[in-house]
Structure 1
Amino acid sequence: MKYLFTTLCLMILVSCSNKQSLQEYLISKDKDANFKTMSVATDLLVPNIEELSTEEQATLKKIKSINVAAMPTDSVNQVAYEKETRQVETILENSTYQTLMKMNADDKGMNLLYIGNDIKIDEVVFYGKSKETGMLVARLNSRDLKPNDLAKLLSMADKLDMSQIENFSENFK
């Protein structure tokens, strides 16, 4: 009995992870003065959702949330910027994210990653960094989003109300 109890305790301790998830990271930056954060409800992106086709509405409803955290470099020193970029990169490397696209040039880089498979995408993450402008992490959390739904979302871009995102991006200029 003692052996069984000890084994169960060890299994519980081993299964608990102290690694920070991207969601936890984004939440922690919400009150950080060095960061600009934004959470966007999908119904705010399309004010006239009834004007969309039934298929477009169904695709949009698959998005649960969009969270963005940005760290402009003018608000922090270089040491803090390096620390934050390392932290995000560690989270992305130590998780189940799969790379869709990755580009690096000099002191700039961007990654487009996802969690899921070729049938269903649970999460899409964009991570970009530049020593000149800062870093940005955007996370799209979804339910039953299919890979071709991403293409549909891109084709709907002209119907989206991007004013919130444009106002947010003004902080980077």
Structure 2
Amino acid sequence: MQQSIKRIFYTLFTAVILTSCGNGVSLQRYFVDNQESDNFISQDVPLSMVKLDKSNFTEEQNDAYNSVKRLNFLAYKTTETNTETYHAELAKVKTILNDGKYNDLMEFSDKGRKIVVKYIGTDDEADEVVVFGSAKELGFGIVRVLGDNMSPDRMVTLFTALQTANVDENQIQDIMKFFK
């Protein structure tokens, strides 16, 4: 009897372990798989290294900024010769971001460029915020925003503040060169 209980327990335990290690593609896995690939650029940036003029930030914007700890960036550059691959990679990213665990936060388009902001978490706390932008003539980029005590409302506040903030362009020069 004891042997049967042990077998059942081990079988259930093994089934749970194998099920939890599914082969589903996550955004983190996509980053790892492509960070060294051709036509991709990848950077991990602690927010402390980003020089930004916060003098005009409100207290709420400052709190939102301080809740972010790190940015993971991955971009794909499109060229005349890799259009088919670009569309395949774009489809993979869109499939990942259409997973039900990603909640919509913001979306906007400008001059053929589309930006989508999603988050994982609840309405009160975001575990991860994802900014995805694409443009046919340039390619696409994904930024994973990671931090503590992030909330969707704070992130909207932060993104609004960043649109008018003075950012030192030397910090993003490598990324901009990649798209030229």
Classify the TM-score, shorter chain. Answer: 0.7 to 0.9
C-alpha separation in 2, matches of 1:62 and 1:149: 9
The unaligned stretches of length 5 or more in structure 2 are none
Superposed, which structure 2 residues align to 1:10-159 within 5 Å?
A: 10-46=15-51, 55=59, 58-74=63-79, 77-94=82-99, 96-102=101-107, 109-150=114-155, 151-152=157-158, 154-155=160-161, 157-159=164-166
The structure whose Rg is larger is 2
Indicate whether 1:6 and 2:6 are aligned: no
Deviations 1:5-57 (A, max 9, x none): 222222222222211221221233221121122222211223688x6889465
Shift of the 46–13 alpha-carbon distance from structure 1 to 2, 3 Å rule, reads same
* Worse-matched range after superposition: 131-140 or 95-104: 95-104
Give the whole-Å Cα distance in 2 for the aligned partners of 1:53 and 1:100.
Answer: 21
State how many pairs are aligned.
171
Could you state the TM-score of these two structures normalised by the residue count of structure 2?
0.76
CA RMSD of aligned residues (A): 3.1
Q: Point out the more displaced range, 5-14 or 52-61.
A: 52-61
Q: Deviations over 1:35-83 (max 9, x none)?
A: 122222211223688x688946544331121111111112751221122
Tell me the TM-score normalised to structure 1 length: 0.79
Structure 1, unaligned runs of 5 or more: none
Greater mean deviation of Cα atoms: 158-167 or 111-120: 158-167
CA contact (8 A) 2:53 2:165 kept: no
Query: 1:95: Cα distance to partner?
Result: 5.1
Q: 2:172 aligns with which of 149, 165, 170?
A: 165
Q: Per-residue deviation at 1:128?
A: 2.2
| Contact 2:65 2:158 survives alignment (8 Å) | no
Q: What SS does the corresponding residue of 1:18 show, helix, strand or coil?
A: coil
Return the alpha-carbon distance in structure 1 between the equivalents of residues 99 and 52 of structure 2.
Answer: 37
Query: In structure 1, what is the Cα distance between the partners aligned to 2:101 and 2:176?
Result: 29
State which drifts further: 125-134 or 154-163: 154-163
- % same residue: 28
